[in-house]
Structure 1
Amino acid sequence: MDERRVLLIGKRAGVLTRLAAALRARGIAADEVRDPTGAGVDPSGGHRVVAFGRAVKPADRDRLRRTLGAADPEVVFVDGYAPIVELLVAQCEQALDRRPLGRRAIVDASVRGGIVDLELRGPCRLRITSYRLDGLYRTHTRELFDRAVRAGTHSAALDPRAARSRHAFVVIRADDETVALAAG
């Protein structure tokens, strides 16, 4: 079984195609299903992660979780936060990371009151990026932090619009580890 294989289920062909290409560029095998009901999904497909787009209805998600989970209890399910390719890639990378928690660089991470707080286990290169969808569903990206840091706690402030937005998200990268969070 390919340890880095993702099944993408959604309705928006453009997002699925760009997401699959971005995952493949990172060495992650990606298969696309453009039917939001998940018809035709092979439970024995060997996928480690199943990512659902927002157009997949809750009843279909539940049915697919039961079916695919019965075939492979270790499969991880991801509900895509927003149709932002970089964010969805980060969510998939996070789900594929099977390292024990005690070996991960990011000990804890959260977003509260417009502040990203995190704790790191050791020194690393830390990058924090925020994504926000505006009222017209355009993506706004902002690099909040990018430098080498020591172990310990670190914080970064979201820009005021992202801090107020219900559609804001944060991606934290510490060397080869990724965490994606909803900020809004």
Structure 2
Amino acid sequence: MKSLHSMEPAEESDIGGEHGGLSSEETPVEGGSLAASDNHPRSGDDWVELLVREMALSSSKDDAKARGARVLEALERAISEHAREEGGKSFQEENMVLKQQTEALIKDNAVLKRAVAIQHERQKVFDDVSQQLELLRQLIPQYQEKIRNLEVNNYALRMHLQQVGQSSSIPERFNPDVF
């Protein structure tokens, strides 16, 4: 009963008449089909009234079983249709939410790809600078050694020049263009 009462309430135009909202096609007839069309009772109370009316119209125990089975089958079909409609609506809503999330993720992915590309370029520049720095560090001892050699050669040449200048017979005045 609780699940029947939870169904959406019937509109005034759907309820009423001598058959509780049923069309003439749905009017229970002995041995006939309960749901010839899709116009089912809307509320749980209408279904209960339909079941009671069917039981009251039954002529025998077997007829009551058959009528009860038809009412329950119609109820099951109505519940299934309602569940399909609600499931379709919720599926569409969920689908829209998932599409929005997918679009947001695609945008985030594009931003992240760009960030990774920028970071990769920066890393390449950093690696190049690091390699150049390492090469320069390796060259420092060689140039320091060359500087020492040049200083030693310069000192030796200065000493040699002093020795030549002291032992030379050339006057102290030197021609600036020669030296």
TM-score by length of 2: 0.23
TM-score between the two structures when normalised by the length of structure 1: 0.22
Largest Rg, 1 or 2: 2
Q: Which has the higher contact order (CA 8 A, sep 6+)?
A: 1
Select the structure that is richer in helix.
Answer: 2
